Amino acid sequence: MSRTFFALLNLGLIIGAAVLGARLYWRDHPEASEGRGSRLLSARVRAWYFSNLEPFEALFVRLGVRPIALTYAQVVSSVVVAAAYASGLVFTAGWLVLFSGTLDILDGKVARRSGGASPRGAFLDSVMDRYAEFVGYAGLMVLFATGWRVWAVLLAILGGFMVSYTRARAEGLGVGCEIGMLQRPERYVLLGFGSLASSIAGQLFGGDHVLLSVTIVLLAGLGNLTALQRIRYVSRALAGPTHA
Amino acid sequence: MPELRGKGWRVAGYFIWMLGAGVVLDSDALGAGGVLLAVGGALFGHGVVQSMRGAGVSG
């Protein structure tokens, strides 16, 4: 069987499984539309994905897996993401990005379910997230070693770090800042599915990672836009009567 | 692993299937990729059967 066949089969399965899963979940959980979400990832989609991870939360808690072990596993998987991108294995890298993002979700959920959530764990999780994010982008820089796309990756790194830094600094000053269209889960989804789609499109139509390039440009643009949204929001909040 | 009953096996199977797809699409290791595709598909099917036998449609 040819790779084109596998590419088409996987495209159909990715779309089919997502549509089927979402339909089943939304039929059984109509209340899931409440809660925080964004334009790219609604509260319903987040709730649907979290519900898919509940069996693994329960399993890890029963097995006594420590949340910090999942955090470190996420960093290790990000190193493999970088190696995959650097080697041109774009579909595998996209899968690993989604896997790494899933571990990022699971460590916090396992910590809360097992009663082991702590400020130390939250701090280590945030710090390791930054390392993991940078390592993944480093692989992309190797893949796009020459040309304009290296600069797009650099801007994407800047955007991702500024989105996190603005929130951390704002919360240090007593201002909540969970706003913006491209927060960390959105970045995982965009890069992960962008890589999968780029690989499948490359198998079907050829081209030099065209969709992945578009994804990087989107990450760079929307990431920095989100950082600017946060700067504006926090600046206004701090100029108010309570903080001025 | 009773926690994975139904939905858990479906999700695990889907992830393993996708990994197999990556191996098939990105490399020449068609044998290893085929094994992963088969294991992933079998686990997904196992989860679906468990769901139909009482773990709930989405459970």
Residue B34 lies in domain = 16-54
Tokens of A181: 């269209």
Pick the CATH number of A39-238 from 1.20.120.1760, 1.10.220.70, 1.10.10.10, 3.30.465.10: 1.20.120.1760
Residue B22: closest CA among A134, A3, A73, A216: A3
Contact criterion met (CB below 8 Å) for B7 and A55 = yes
Q: Is B41 part of a structural domain of the chain? A: yes
Looking at residue A198, what is its pLDDT?
92
3-state secondary structure A25-94: HHHHCHHHHCCCCCCCCCHHHHHHHHHHHHHHHHHHHHHCCCHHHHHHHHHHHHHHHHHHHHCCCHHHHH
Looking at residue B38, what is its pLDDT?
93
Looking at residue B6, what is its pLDDT?
79
Query: What does the angle CA B9 – CA B13 – CA B14 come to, to the nearest 5 degrees?
Result: 120
Per the listing, tokens 């070693």 go with A145
Q: Is B44 part of a structural domain of the chain? A: yes
Asked if pLDDT for residue B12 goes beyond 60, the answer is yes
Q: Which chain B residues touch A13 with a CB distance below 8 Å?
A: 17
The residue ranges of every structural domain in chain A are 39-238
Residue A104: closest CA among A86, A80, A124: A124
Phi, psi for A29 (deg, rounded to 5): -130, 65
Q: Which chain B residues touch A199 with a CB distance below 8 Å?
A: 22, 25-26
10-residue stretch averages of pLDDT, chain A, 244 residues long = 72 73 63 62 81 89 91 95 94 94 91 87 91 94 92 95 93 88 88 92 86 96 94 90 63
A199–B26 C-beta distance less than 8 A: yes
CA dist A122 → A108, A165, B32 (Å) = 8, 15, 38
How far apart CA A208 and CA A145 sit, in angstroms, is: 13
**Closest Cβ–Cβ partner in A59, A99, A200 for B4:** A59
Per the listing, tokens 């858990």 go with B8
Looking at residue B24, what is its pLDDT?
86
**B11 Cα to chain A: minimum distance (Å):** 7
Looking at residue A34, what is its pLDDT?
47
Looking at residue B59, what is its pLDDT?
46
Looking at residue A244, what is its pLDDT?
55
Q: Nearest chain A Cα to B25, which residue?
A: A3
Interface test mutation site (partner A, options B25, B43, B57, max chain A beta carbons within 10 A): B25
Looking at residue A6, what is its pLDDT?
72
Looking at residue A210, what is its pLDDT?
92
Total of domains in chain B = 1
Q: Is B48 part of a structural domain of the chain? A: yes
Q: Nearest chain A Cα to B57, which residue?
A: A24
Looking at residue A69, what is its pLDDT?
92
How do residues B18-59 score in pLDDT, each as one tens digit? 899 888 888 888 889 889 999 998 998 888 888 777 755 444
Q: Is B8 part of a structural domain of the chain? A: no
B21–A6 C-beta distance less than 8 A: yes
How far apart CA B20 and CA B31 sit, in angstroms, is: 10
Looking at residue A171, what is its pLDDT?
92
How far apart CA A115 and CA B1 sit, in angstroms, is: 21
**Closest Cβ–Cβ partner in B4, B8, B26 for A92:** B26
Residue A159: closest CA among A230, A223, A213: A223
Q: Is B28 part of a structural domain of the chain? A: yes
